[in-house]
């Protein structure tokens, strides 16, 4: 079976890093990418600045593969956009001959099993190769693999609007007026939002990006209005830890969002669980539950749902996976990343043991390993695949020597009821005047976003991968 390749599902940053490590160790590998190019998911949010600088976003072995080419290593202290990450790192990496020869585009893996045995059979299970159902450009086929690294991400499986985790009544009916993830408000999607009222649901960094882009758009398109709606009432995590956050871009994003809410540029409704969307005239009304009882929000023209993503579990129906029962992450990571327990954004070092399953040779890596948890950083995925590939190679000393130090958020809590810990004792900044907002928008791409008329990255091909 050692002559068979290791199957890597997904050609995002983590999938390509896994392939780079396998190539470096001389292990046959096959990368399956459903899209027509690398990082299909990231291209969907190519207009968004990452809040982690370049030094956290390039895998060391990927960098080594590029060293013999004409590639120029980006400035490690600057924060790229998604489009920058693709153009300046992932595309060049995919064109390295050793990498280009193992990637198949337009190849969607729809099912994984063991050749010759089903999920129930246990005897000598690890001796049977994996079999993958692949829908490719030439039709459907079956491929064999010695091991499988699932780096397919979660971006294409967004959580619905409904506060119960189920789609809200009317969500499918009004789908053409609902966006999921991070629409390009200042670019390709501008006409959908200019001069309109948009409800933005969600309490994470995706929602923050959309809201601040809507504020920027309102400076040029009259009557553009943003209303932020959250299920919870504690916004300390998205507002961030200020000067205590070791990623300044993340700190700026949260601080700018807080200032725009306090200044009234962004309307805020907290403690609202959406249940129903209905039309009133040609506009949308959202009804749901609030602490005071039933509540109605609207009317609005558009809805953006930034309530996170969830893994697609259909792919692994016939393999033995062990998942956290509520996060749907790999089980071992659940207690480390559960937002019900902590919000530090840090996670203990972990590698092949934590991302493996009862199915021998099957690993879930990247953001999919976190399931529904929102705190994944690419640096985590790079260390995961380094350890996994070392284990596949039989180099257990390297596989077990896991080292991971993530930048702290500056906002930590031991449980939902405890106080937020912050060392920032300074007085809160006064909300800026609208002229100051305009100036900040033009000058701080990491905070108040570029202006609507500023040059934009090249239009992305139509997936924070999602960063897989």
Q: pLDDT tens, 349-377? A: 899 999 999 999 999 999 999 999 988 88
> pLDDT tens digits for 260-269?
999 999 999 9
Of the listed ranges 38-52, 273-287, 331-345, 368-382, the least confidently predicted one is 331-345
Q: What are the residue boundaries of the structural domains of the chain, listed by start?
A: 6-156+310-400, 175-306+427-443
Mean of all residue pLDDT scores within the chain: 86
**CATH level 3 topology of 175-306+427-443:** FAD/NAD(P)-binding domain (3.50.50)
> pLDDT tens digits for 127-136?
999 999 999 9
Higher pLDDT: 435 or 246? It is 246
Residue 465 has pLDDT above 90, yes or no: no
**Kind of pairing between the strands at 139-145 and 108-114:** unpaired
User: Under a CB-based contact definition with an 8 Å cutoff, are residues 211 and 266 in contact?
Assistant: yes
**CATH level 3 topology of 6-156+310-400:** FAD/NAD(P)-binding domain (3.50.50)
Identify the pLDDT of residue 420: 28
Mean pLDDT confidence for 44-49: 93
> pLDDT tens digits for 148-196?
999 999 999 999 999 999 999 999 999 999 999 999 999 999 999 999 9
User: Half-sphere exposure (CA, 13 Å, Cβ side) for 310?
Assistant: 15
> pLDDT tens digits for 406-415?
766 544 443 4
Q: What is the pTM of this model?
A: 0.85
Of the listed ranges 55-64, 78-87, 426-435, the least confidently predicted one is 426-435
Identify the pLDDT of residue 439: 31
> pLDDT tens digits for 397-406?
999 999 887 7
Identify the pLDDT of residue 459: 30
- pLDDT tier, 299 (very low <50, low <70, confident <90, very high otherwise): very high
């Amino acid at each position: 079976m050692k002559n068979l390749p290791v199957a890597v599902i997904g050609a995002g940053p983590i999938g390509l890093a896994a392939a780079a490590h396998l190539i470096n160790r001389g292990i046959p590998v096959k990368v399956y990418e459903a899209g027509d190019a690398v990082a299909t998911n990231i291209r969907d949010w190519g207009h968004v600045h990452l809040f982690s600088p370049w030094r956290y976003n390039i895998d060391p072995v990927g960098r080594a593969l590029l060293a013999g080419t004409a590639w120029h290593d980006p400035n490690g202290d600057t924060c790229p956009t998604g489009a920058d990450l693709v153009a300046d790192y992932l595309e060049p990496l995919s064109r390295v001959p050793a990498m280009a020869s193992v990637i198949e585009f337009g190849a969607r893996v729809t099912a994984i099993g063991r050749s010759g045995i089903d999920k129930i059979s246990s005897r000598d299970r690890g001796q049977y190769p994996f079999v993958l159902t692949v829908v490719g450009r030439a039709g459907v086929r079956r491929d064999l693999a010695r091991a499988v690294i699932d780096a397919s991400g979660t971006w294409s499986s967004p959580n619905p609007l409904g506060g119960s985790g189920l789609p809200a009544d009317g969500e499918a009916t009004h789908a053409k007026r609902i966006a999921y993830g991070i629409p390009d408000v200042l670019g390709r999607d501008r006409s959908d939002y200019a001069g309109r009222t948009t409800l933005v649901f969600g309490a994470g960094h995706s929602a923050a990006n959309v809201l601040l882009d809507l504020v920027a758009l309102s400076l040029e398109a009259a009557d553009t209005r943003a209303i932020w709606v959250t299920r919870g009432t504690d916004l300390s995590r998205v507002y961030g830890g200020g000067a205590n956050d070791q990623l300044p871009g993340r700190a700026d994003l949260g601080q700018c969002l807080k200032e725009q809410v306090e200044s009234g540029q962004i309307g805020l409704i907290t403690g609202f669980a959406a249940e129903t969307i209905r039309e009133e005239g040609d506009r949308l009304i959202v009804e749901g539950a609030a602490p005071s009882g039933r509540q109605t929000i609207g009317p609005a023209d558009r809805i953006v749902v930034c309530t996170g993503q969830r893994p697609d579990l259909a792919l692994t129906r016939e393999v033995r996976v062990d998942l956290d029962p509520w996060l749907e992450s790999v089980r071992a990571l659940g207690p480390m990343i559960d937002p019900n327990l902590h919000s530090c954004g840090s996670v203990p070092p972990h590698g092949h043991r934590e991302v493996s399953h009862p199915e021998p040779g099957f690993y879930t890596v990247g953001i999919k390993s976190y399931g529904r948890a929102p705190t994944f950083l690419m640096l985590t995925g790079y260390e995961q695949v380094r350890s996994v590939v070392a284990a596949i190679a039989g180099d257990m000393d390297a596989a077990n020597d896991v080292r991971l130090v993530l930048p702290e958020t500056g906002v930590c809590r031991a449980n939902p009821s405890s106080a937020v810990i912050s060392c920032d004792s300074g007085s809160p900044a006064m909300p800026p005047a609208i002229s100051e907002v305009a100036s900040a928008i033009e000058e701080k791409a990491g905070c108040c976003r570029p202006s609507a008329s500023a040059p934009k990255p090249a239009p992305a091909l139509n997936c924070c991968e999602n960063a897989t």
